Structure 1
Amino acid sequence: MTYTLEPPLPETPTPRDYERIHFNPAELPRKRIVGLLACQRDPLLQALTTRVVSVAPAAAPPLAQKGRAKKKDKGSAASSATGTGANTPAEQGKLWEVELEDTVIFPEGGGQPWDTGTLYVTEAGETHALVIEGCVRRKLDAVHMVRVPPGTRVDPTALPGTDVRVEAHWERRMDHMTIHTAQHLLSAVLDARELPTLSWGMPAWPATDAPYVELPRGLTWAEAADVEDECNRRIREARRVWIDFSMQGGASGASGAGGGESDDRENRGIPKDYTGGVIRHCNIDGIDRNACCGTQCPDLSLVGFIHVLPPSTPHAACAPSSRVPTRLFFVAGPRAVSHLALASRWLSQAGQAIGVSRAELVPRIEKIEAIRFETDAAAKSLKAELAGIVGAAAGKRGVVWIPRVEKSTHDYEFMTSAAGAWGAAGAEEGAVIVFTSAPPGVSPTLLMVQGKDEAQSKSVFEGIKNALDDVDSEGGKRVKGGGARGRFMAKVDGKWGKREIAAVQGVIDNFGQASRQ
């Protein structure tokens, strides 16, 4: 038996049997608790006239949500999500916590980010549009974070008992809702393959980043394509979705997704501080039944389609490359359109960058990679041969310095090979070879000192280190490093110029004079 909650909500395309209440709601207070909010009873209801219950100054702004904005874009996050363009608290105005009798603003939960929207307040015949920056759940209550700009002729403290109109930011809602419904479908399809969802995540609108489900193992490309095909087949069938409402701690009084007793992930993830409320079970006809507090599409056709992003397993592999918990990314609804449009443009740009059509891009990249591999191997062989020549040609007595200034990055492997060749070519016992690598525009400079006699090598290294530190007029320590067994390595901070070159040359000259005495 199902009941009707009075007063009824405004008419929308949502079927009347989407909301199935399995307890007598006659004794419920007029203020709707989280679980029975208008947005949870009719997900297609965009606006609602309701009454303000309480207003209080907000202690803090709503927390940033994952995917809402990059760190460098914090200043623009509110603008993107709520329509406000202010940059400082004084310009933004004061934030207030507002509770309503009912609301179309979803207060975050079940992995779904909160809604934003607008609160329309009429005073003295003038209507003011106040931005709802977020909505949070506090036990059974939905608390709206409402911004009142400076100069607005609205006294928030006088709003309790006043009728207002609340409207959801619909683009954000549809993005979140279609993804959430798609996640339920995807998890059900995966569950039937003995791949239970361990967790899931959704970056908040306006992010176009892909949400994910975490699975016990990775998938092959063939498995991912098969799952995607089944999901989209169910979407094309426009399978019905409905919500069963039951009192927390009581029997649900509802049938399972397939018409019998539920075989489901029913009560996963119910918050510990949610007590004395209602439990909502989301049903996808013949496919799934799962406890959920979020907003769900009335039928799967509203999802549009799901695209499961190819996993990191090599595309031709017959077995998954990972046997540990792995994230499977997907997109659905409006975000899928944006995501795939962006991917298509990237594909075209990549083709233009190497001068081929999109269809030829993969074979051309494979060919480029093969050529690069051969070139790298040849260059490595040639560099090793050149390092041997450089090392063998260096002086075999005293202190030898080989400065490197090639327009590249530091080549530690080259210096090591050259030093090895120098030693193998008959360097005398007390001889030391010094390498400095100072490519233009690259900092810090790399210093390497090597010799057969550890004490002599250390003495040369310390001499160069002290000389370079002395170049700094402020007396700072520019050279950081050390070593053992005849090899010493260090990085030299700051600019490498004529004074540094002269300092190193002075040390080498001093050791050369000492060796001749």
Structure 2
Amino acid sequence: MAASALVLPPTTPPDYHRIISPTLQLPSDISKPIPVGLLACQPLLLPVGCQCAGDPLRRDLTTTVISCEVAKAQPTSAASKRRKEKNSQVPQDQLLEVVLHDTILFPEGGGQPHDTGLLTAQSGDQWKVVDVKRHGGHAIHYVQIQGNAEAALKAFSSGSVVGVSLGEDGLERRLDHMCMHTSQHLLSAVLETQLNLPTLSWSMTVYPTPSYVEIPRSMTASEIANIQSTANRLVFEGRSVHIEVEELDNQNLPGVAKLESGRSVGKALPTDYTGGVKRTVVIDGVDRNPCCGTHLPSLHNLQLFLIPHTESVARSNASSARLYFLSGPRLITYLTSTHAYLSATSGILSCGAPQVPERVELVVEERKKASKRVEDLESELAAELAKGLIISSGSDEGPIILHKHRIDDSANTLGFLSSISTAFSNEIGTTSNPRPYLLVLSSSPSMQTTSGTTVVMVVGSDEKQVKLVGDALRAKLAVKGGGKGAKWSGKYTGVWKDNKENAQIDEILEALKVPKLPV
């Protein structure tokens, strides 16, 4: 008889969400929104010490619309506000602002980005929720309008019953957020208890890049390994995670500690928060911290991985370091992509994965030697080209005014032209009666495109004449560049043509031959 596997959906323990205030009650009036700290809880009046069904793994619920209006402006994330940029992840379409009695879609908060999901109207039509923000103490859903705004407003009229769901994409996003956020709480707790390193701030970066915690100093590889081992031991033990909710008053406001440098550790509650609820995330026997984000109900299978180095961050008044970490879906994506890169590299180098570092080091050394050989050859070639330019100028005693264009695919075009100009000036200087000169060198790649660049260099014995030619190149050919003293260089973008750009340079130089260069 063939064996079959039954995969059960993940469940949240009934004591995950705990109301610990004697007077805090869940709003039962469906005409009023539930504060963000009590979202997705069973709407019953429960006594102190009770447990409600606040479930981070819940995928959908049915609730009532409180209000709906067309959004006056696009929502922006907190990070976007700091950068004064619009959030590129939010479509620039017309949106609705929908307030619900309850929701499983959590707004941005605690360093965690907002959820996304779906609203299902009574007609059965589904509408995308592209953003969720906290206004005061309540969640505002930004819903992408389908068709005209009037129909959208009708679909979510006040008092109508709607379904709220994460959807597949929203569920994956939520799982990533929970894994990374719970990992951050665990990591910060272990760093502080083991090394007395408080978390100054943290960032949940865009999936799938590693997130980071910012700490007061860098860490050694040994310290990072020990922290990772300690954290994953707690993961292996499967420490439980739960939420404690209580009424917020002046006595239990979460404070913000400061270091000796004056730098704040963590953040206080937002000044615009009016929810009246304090929400604390507790990792059993490890950590308890105020937080409004979503968290896994257990550390089981979290598997925290730390990038084995820290990145220094310098500021005007203090320095700090960033420790990057991965967990959950990001860790799987990171391992998968890293393995793919390693396999591809080992294939290119025709070696096994363990030999890749040695082979890469060998390739780099060979590349350095090859580059040195090319530089030496280019230097020799530059000297010969310089001699050829002097010979082509004739044997009279007058000034040398020349333009030489090359088709060249040098890795360092500007450096090669500079070598030619240096060799040219040196060769002129060796003569018994050095002649004044003005030399324009230009070089284009063999395959030219409209976005390609041609490098132009001007050198001469008269700084004023060099500047004059440089200004003319900017004005007539739109060459972008500049210079100082007897050397000017720039870049021309586009296809360089003999009968156009070369001809224009010849015209510029021809004009200089009338008032001859000073001897």
* TM-score of Structure 1 vs Structure 2, range by shorter chain: 0.7 to 0.9
Partner of residue 363 from structure 1, selected from 358, 362, 374: 358
1:42 corresponds to which residue? 55
Q: Which amino acid aligns with 2:107?
A: P
Q: Structure 1 residues 377 and 53 mapped into 2: Cα distance closer, same or farther (>3 Å)? A: same
1:472 corresponds to which residue? none
2:106 corresponds to which residue? 106
2:416 corresponds to which residue? 414
1:498 corresponds to which residue? 498
Q: How many Å separate the matches in 1 of 2:265 and 2:382?
A: 67
Q: Deviations over 1:99-149 (max 9, x none)?
A: 222221111210111112222333xxx533333222211111112223453
Q: Does the 8 Å contact 1:245/1:279 carry over to 2?
A: yes
Q: What are the within-5 Å matches in structure 2 for residues 291-370 of structure 1?
A: 291-303=290-302, 305-311=303-309, 324-370=319-365
Q: Which amino acid aligns with 2:121?
A: V
Q: Which amino acid aligns with 2:445?
A: P
Deviation at 1:356, TM superposition (A): 2.5
Q: Which amino acid aligns with 2:416?
A: F
Q: Does the 8 Å contact 1:410/1:439 carry over to 2?
A: no
Deviates more, 1:130-139 or 1:282-291: 130-139
Deviates more, 1:146-155 or 1:433-442: 146-155
Q: How many Å separate the matches in 1 of 2:184 and 2:345?
A: 31
Deviation at 1:216, TM superposition (A): 2.5
Q: TM-score, normalised by structure 2?
A: 0.76
2:261 corresponds to which residue? none
Q: Does the 8 Å contact 2:310/2:321 carry over to 1?
A: no
1:3 corresponds to which residue? none
Deviation at 1:202, TM superposition (A): 1.6
Q: Structure 1 residues 392 and 160 mapped into 2: Cα distance closer, same or farther (>3 Å)? A: same
Q: SS state of the match for residue 105, structure 2? A: coil
Q: Structure 1 residues 271 and 374 mapped into 2: Cα distance closer, same or farther (>3 Å)? A: same
Q: Does the 8 Å contact 1:218/1:321 carry over to 2?
A: no
Q: Deviations over 1:140-159 (max 9, x none)?
A: 11122234533898763774
2:445 corresponds to which residue? 439
2:11 corresponds to which residue? 13
Q: Which amino acid aligns with 1:299?
A: S
Q: Which amino acid aligns with 1:195?
A: L
Deviates more, 1:324-333 or 1:217-226: 217-226
Q: How many Å separate the matches in 2 of 1:463 and 1:203?
A: 50
Q: Does the 8 Å contact 2:313/2:322 carry over to 1?
A: no
Q: How many Å separate the matches in 1 of 2:158 and 2:515?
A: 92
Q: What are the within-5 Å matches in structure 2 for residues 224-303 of structure 1?
A: 224-249=224-249, 268-275=267-274, 277-303=276-302
Deviation at 1:406, TM superposition (A): 1.3
Tell me, yes or no, if structure 1 residue 56 matches structure 2 residue 69: yes
Q: How many Å separate the matches in 1 of 2:423 and 2:363?
A: 34
Partner of residue 161 from structure 1, selected from 159, 165, 183: 159
Q: How many Å separate the matches in 1 of 2:68 and 2:516?
A: 87
Q: Structure 1 residues 194 and 144 mapped into 2: Cα distance closer, same or farther (>3 Å)? A: same
Tell me, yes or no, if structure 1 residue 195 matches structure 2 residue 204: no
2:217 corresponds to which residue? 217
Q: SS state of the match for residue 405, structure 2? A: strand
Q: Which amino acid aligns with 1:269?
A: A
Deviation at 1:382, TM superposition (A): 3.1
Q: How many Å separate the matches in 2 of 1:464 and 1:268?
A: 54
Deviation at 1:26, TM superposition (A): 5.8
Q: How many Å separate the matches in 2 of 1:113 and 1:288?
A: 22
2:49 corresponds to which residue? none
Q: Structure 1 residues 405 and 27 mapped into 2: Cα distance closer, same or farther (>3 Å)? A: closer
Q: Structure 1 residues 121 and 514 mapped into 2: Cα distance closer, same or farther (>3 Å)? A: closer
Q: TM-score, normalised by structure 1?
A: 0.76
Q: Structure 1 residues 149 and 512 mapped into 2: Cα distance closer, same or farther (>3 Å)? A: closer
Query: Gaps spanning 5+ residues in structure 2: where?
Result: 1-8, 42-52, 81-86, 254-263, 392-396
Q: How many Å separate the matches in 2 of 1:283 and 1:404?
A: 70
Aligned length in residues: 457
Q: Structure 1 residues 446 and 252 mapped into 2: Cα distance closer, same or farther (>3 Å)? A: closer
Deviates more, 1:35-44 or 1:285-294: 35-44
Q: How many Å separate the matches in 1 of 2:125 and 2:313?
A: 57
Q: What are the within-5 Å matches in structure 2 for residues 64-79 of structure 1?
A: none
Q: Does the 8 Å contact 1:53/1:100 carry over to 2?
A: yes
Q: How many Å separate the matches in 2 of 1:120 and 1:482?
A: 61
Q: Does the 8 Å contact 2:136/2:275 carry over to 1?
A: no
Q: Does the 8 Å contact 2:138/2:275 carry over to 1?
A: no
Q: How many Å separate the matches in 1 of 2:275 and 2:509?
A: 83
Q: Does the 8 Å contact 2:24/2:246 carry over to 1?
A: no
Q: Which amino acid aligns with 1:306?
A: L
Tell me, yes or no, if structure 1 residue 375 matches structure 2 residue 349: no
Q: SS state of the match for residue 244, structure 1? A: strand
Q: CA RMSD in A?
A: 3.8
Query: Gaps spanning 5+ residues in structure 1: where?
Result: 1-10, 68-73, 79-86, 254-264, 314-319, 470-474
